[in-house]
Structure 1
Amino acid sequence: MLIKGYEDGPLVAGEALLDRPGFWSNYLMPVCGGGTSAVRPGPEWFGDDGADADALSEVLFDPERWPVIRVPAEDGPGAVVVHRNMAGEYGIDYLLTHPGRSHAQQVASWEGDLSGVGLTWDELVHLADSPSPAAEGVQDTAARLLLVLPLLAASDVPEPAPARVSAALTSVGAPQATASSTAEHLLTHLTRRARHDPAWGSPLSGSSRTGGRVDSWS
């Protein structure tokens, strides 16, 4: 697998990792923030245990293999999640693909927090709900929503949002008894650090005002 701009990275298809125990805790626990001493996020929030999380972290963060997870969309921009496992410079890059274009546009990175340009809740939902069965990548709408959830950049979300995230968490294996509180925790942290400026052009429109570099599929 090659993406222009990542020639030095040993990119590998990572979609199969979503079904491995420990994936969702590794991917979403950092989005929860550190929590408090009384409420600290743990792998069990996502249906995992510590051994699962530790074992899969060795796969996700392997500098010899950088997992790439594709979220293709049928009627609009899709997303690509790149685990950038450079020694001493680990991060997750978020790229958007646009219909009719041969390039993928990097719009944000996650290195302890989001930098770059995020998306509104409605944009995330539209992307999640528009799988492209003809393309390689993640088709399940619950998993798609959770994969792009770190891109949320809004100071508030519609009333149905927590229930939608809770249902997605349950669908990927989170305990039903705690999925609602986990969803609330995720959304609270994401909206608290939101930096979306309504005056900015949405990266879903292909606007060049995102500040991200342009990387091409090849």
Structure 2
Amino acid sequence: MLIEGYGHGPVVAGESLVGRRGFWANHLLAMCGDGTCAEPAVPEWFGGDGADADALAEVLFDPEQWPVFRVLVPDGHPVPGVVVVYRNFADEFEVDYLVGGQGTGAGFSSGSVSGLSWRELIRVADCPEAPADGVQDVSGRFLLLLPLLSGEWSGDLVRERIVAALVAVGAPEYTVGRAAGHLLGHLERRALHDSGWGSPLSGG
């Protein structure tokens, strides 16, 4: 796998990790770590438990292997795909969102994606005939890109979609409403603080 600008990084395909217990706790709890919540989110809200999340964290944040999750689109799609990279240095880690090339090629631009509008997010997540090299499941594609949501959106519509996606990936139905509300609250607070955060894919 080749990613421009990551020539010295030990990137590996990570799509097989998406279906493992504890994956969504690791990926989505990162959105909720700003210390603004009276009730902190817990791994159990997203499927699995703390032990599952801890076990998978050792894989996701391994400095010797940086998992890459490709959310690709076919040629001619109106919005480019996105490549999610867990960039794990020994003393720090970040999750990078890169503009993905169209089609099934393994090379991607190193240009970063700072945000997606609701329309762009849905177009990428729901695109028909997603290339086989990347994540295929629509709910998984949506949740992988959810941290990028920016701009204006309908809270009810986004909450409904988050709930459906979480249930589809195995989150408990009795806590999924709390999890969705928690994620939406963090997205809304971030949008208020970063009102100028536009999408490089649409020019605004």
Which bracket does the TM-score occupy, shorter chain normalised?
Answer: 0.7 to 0.9
Q: Cα distance 1:156–1:191, how it changes in 2: closer, same or farther (>3 A)? A: farther
* SS of residue paired to 1:68: strand
Misfit runs of 4+, over 6 Å: none
CA distance in 2, matches of 1:8, 1:105: 13
AA in 1 matched with 2:184: L
CA gap 1:120/1:96 in 2 versus in 1, 3 angstroms: same
* TM-score scaled by length of structure 2: 0.87
In structure 1, how many angstroms separate the alpha carbons of the residues matched to 2:40 and 2:98?
30
2:109 corresponds in structure 1 to 104
Cα distance change on mapping 1:105 and 1:157 into 2, 3 Å: farther
How far, CA to CA, are the matches of 1:163 and 1:25 in structure 2?
Answer: 19
Q: Is the 8 A contact 1:35 1:41 kept in 2?
A: no
Higher mean C-alpha displacement, 180-189 vs 154-163: 154-163
What is the rounded CA distance, in whole Å, between the counterparts of 1:185 and 1:155 in structure 2? 18
Alignment match, 1:193: 190
| Aligned 8 A contact 2:45 2:176 in 1 | yes
The amino acid that maps onto 2:111 is: Q
Does residue 149 of structure 2 align to residue 149 of structure 1?
Answer: no
Aligned-residue sequence identity (percent) comes to: 52
What is the CA–CA distance in structure 2 between the aligned matches of 1:82 and 1:63, rounded to whole Å?
A: 12
Amino acid at match of 2:24: W
- The change in CA–CA distance for 1:155 and 1:35 in structure 2 (over 3 A counts) is same
The aligned residue for residue 171 of structure 1 is 168
The SS at the match of 1:176 is coil
CA 1:167/1:5 → structure 2, altered by over 3 Å: closer, same or farther? same
Separation in 2, partners of 1:27, 1:9: 20
Contact kept, 8 Å, 1:142 with 1:169, in 2: the verdict is yes
Q: Which residue does 2:120 correspond to in 1?
A: 123
TM norm structure 1 = 0.81
Please report how far the alpha carbon of residue 175 of structure 1 lies from its aligned counterpart in structure 2 after TM superposition. Answer: 0.6
> How many pairs align?
196
Quickly say closer, same or farther: Cα 1:131–1:27, change in 2 above 3 A.
farther
CA distances 1:148-204 after superposition (whole Å, capped 9, x unpaired): 000012354353210111000010110111112211110110121112438x5x322
> Out of 79, 84, 88, which is 2:91 matched to?
88
For 1:145, give the aligned amino acid. F
- 1:72 touches 1:132 (CA, 8 Å); kept in 2? no
Alignment gaps of 5+ in structure 1:
109-116, 210-218
Deviation at 1:36, TM superposition (A): 3.7
Do residues 51 (structure 1) and 51 (structure 2) align? Answer: yes
Instruction: Give the SS at the match of 1:106.
Output: coil
Partner amino acid, structure 2, of 1:104: S
